[in-house]
Amino acid sequence: MATTTPPASAKGWAKAILPPAAEFGPTPLPVTAGAIPTGLRGTLYRNGPARLERGGRRVGHWFDGDGAILATHFTGTATGTYRYVRTAGYLEEQAKGQMLYGGYGTTSPAPFWQKFAKQVKNAANTGVLALPDKLLALWEGGHPHALHPHTLETLGLDNLGWLSPNWPYSAHPKRDPQTGEIYNFGVTPGKTSQLRVYRCNSQLQLLQQTAIPLDGLPLIHDFVLAGQYLVFLIPPVRLQVLPALLQLKSFSDALRWRPEKGTQIVVLDKTTLSVVSKTEAEPWYQWHFGNGYVGDGGAVVVDIVRYDDFQTNQRLKEVAAGQTQTQAKGSLWRLRLDPLSGQIAEMRELLARSCEFPTVPASEVGRENRFTYLSLHRQGTDAIGEQFDSIGRFDCQTGTLTEANLGAGRYPTEPIYAPDADNPQQGWILTVVFDSQQNSSEVWVFDAERLDGEPVCRLALPEVVPLGFHGTWVPAG
Domains annotated on the chain, with CATH: 12-475 (2.120.10.30)
Distances (CA, A) of 466 to 54, 82, 156, 198, 411: 16, 11, 23, 32, 10
DSSP state for residue 221 in the 8-state scheme: -
Q: How far apart are CA 256 and CA 39, in angstroms?
A: 48
For the chain, report the end-to-end CA distance as a whole number of angstroms.
48
DSSP state for residue 112 in the 8-state scheme: G
Per-residue pLDDT tens digits of the chain, which is 477 residues long: 455 666 666 899 999 999 999 999 999 999 999 999 999 999 999 999 999 999 999 999 999 999 999 999 999 999 999 999 999 999 999 999 999 999 999 998 866 655 565 678 999 999 999 999 999 999 999 999 999 999 999 999 999 999 999 999 999 999 999 999 999 999 999 889 999 999 999 999 999 999 999 999 999 999 999 999 999 999 999 999 888 887 789 999 999 999 999 999 999 999 999 999 999 999 999 999 999 999 989 999 999 999 999 999 999 999 999 999 999 999 999 999 999 999 999 999 999 999 999 999 999 999 999 999 999 999 999 989 999 999 999 999 999 999 999 999 999 999 999 999 999 899 999 999 999 999 999 999 999 999 999 999 999 999 999 999 999 999 997
Q: How far apart are CA 224 and CA 232, in angstroms?
A: 7
Helix (H, G, I), strand (E, B) or coil at 360: coil
CB atoms within 10 A of CB 458: 17
- Cα 397 off chain centre by: 26
Kindly report the backbone phi and psi dihedral angles of residue 300, in degrees, each rounded to the nearest multiple of 5, phi listed first: -90, 130
pLDDT at 246: 78
Q: Which helix (H) or strand (E) holds 434?
A: strand 427-435
CB atoms within 10 A of CB 25: 12
Q: How far apart are CA 208 and CA 388, in angstroms?
A: 39
Helix (H, G, I), strand (E, B) or coil at 170: coil
pLDDT at 244: 84
Q: What Rg do the C-alpha atoms of the chain give, in angstroms? A: 21
pLDDT at 111: 65
pLDDT at 1: 40
pLDDT at 245: 81
pLDDT at 112: 62
Which sign does the torsion angle of CA 308, 314, 317, 322 carry?
negative
pTM over 0.85: yes
Q: What contacts 248, CB < 8 A, 6 or more positions away?
A: none
